[in-house]
Amino acid sequence: MDVTISVLADRPDLVEAFWAMDSPWPEFMAHDPISNLFYGVLEQYADYVLLAQDHTGEVVAQACSVPFHLDGDELPDDGWDGAVRRAAATRMRGQQPNAVSALEVAIRPDHQGAGLSSRMLIALRDNAARLGYAELVAPVRPNGKADVDEPMAGYAFRTREDGLPVDPWLRVHVRIGGRIDKVAPRSMVIPSTLEEWRRWTGLPFDRTGPVAVPKALAPVHCDVEHGIAVYTEPNVWVRHPTA
């Protein structure tokens, strides 16, 4: 598919199209309380946001990354949330970022299956190189994981006969040169009331215990007595050298 990929800093006129693009994510993922530390100030990270337009000028894909200061070389267990929190802290402290993390690659639902995910991921890596980073790291959400009870530590490292990951999205990362580093066991934490979870999922949330929610990677833990439920999503850190 023929697309033009631009950096938001060069195309600030596309910010409204960024927000208008149909989201491929399940509703509950839009309610991570950490997310507004990035998306609430998106234009402050305009050098790290990419948009793809088709031949008509419509935005059909977007990819976001975030710079932050990382102490040492060990990637954090809090994955996606941790990258966003550290980015905000880096800006507030006036520190020099020394790492950059992918946050999302989103393809408009009617353009999925055309190879755009791989192209946007490569573009993120190339953009990290342009900005002077030696690698792009990514807390990857393995989209093929269907069994919420299967530990991510097992699923993330399962491979096919050809040695590539069984997970389709991890496979894309590895095919373009990424290396699976470790599991981020609490990459995204979404706590909310039972009423909100019912609205987001259409499920009753009427029993205390684990709840299997469609498109979740782990169970949502429901506490009827206290009226809350918490989802803790594990992701998989992948490292992409930019050289």
- The CATH number that applies at residue 135 is 3.40.630.30
pTM for the full predicted model: 0.96
Residue 178: give the domain boundaries. 4-187+234-241
CB 218 within 8 A of CB 152: yes
Question: Which tens digit of pLDDT belongs to each residue from 69-108?
Answer: 999 999 999 999 999 999 999 999 999 999 999 999 999 9
Within a domain: 228 = no
Judge whether 55 lies within some domain: yes
160 found inside a domain? yes
In a domain, 29, yes or no: yes
pLDDT one-digit tens code per residue, 38-63? 999 999 999 999 999 999 999 999 99
Residue 116 is assigned to a structural domain of this protein: yes
**216 is a domain residue:** no
Domains in the chain, number:
1
